[in-house]
Structure 1
């Protein structure tokens, strides 16, 4: 799924640094915008590392709690799957879907129709999932009808 969250944050920071901050009218406003840029970088770092840090901490806690309870090796936590790994797997699966779509025309009509229906249902679910990613969150107590600009 492109762009990734990290790519979006990197682009946002780049636009702030190269296109917005240089055009701001005074140093006070520029300083405030630099704080926003620092927050973006902090979020970027958290998104990049949070899963790995939590997975390592969970494994450490499981081992510690087992030791405190007098148990031997608890078997460990499941391996952490990074967003990058999931995205790479998703790209491979989508390429396989394209190949399957290309092969539908060679199938008998009834089988092709069932395949079309299954693919269309998947695409609907995919769009619904991606729509959740594009929804704008509302933070704080601002009314929902408050304009964003």
Structure 2
């Protein structure tokens, strides 16, 4: 996938043209180069916005196939996708697989647990984040 294609795909998602983003991704997948973590991130965000959970799970399979299963960027997007559709257990499993989680992945997991009404588990994750030396940001506190 060319840099231009990735940029257009990203712009579609940024401007909430999610259907166009998915269409472009499908077209690009048929024409050649392998997607990178930024491409997958944009496509997964589009799936989430469109409530295309089944397609998002297919993209997750491609993420694994291309060796990005422990990528921090994709980990956060996947945690968000799965938790939005009530698969909090899968979100927790994904969180445990993310290499050296950053503040974004920790905050995404905490937020997902809060939204699922699992407040004590969210608090435990917050404490684990501090113990791991990852410092919260303003989004973590929200």
Same fold by TM-score, threshold 0.5 exceeded?
no
Larger Cα-atom Rg: 1
TM-score by length of 1: 0.23
TM-score by length of 2: 0.24
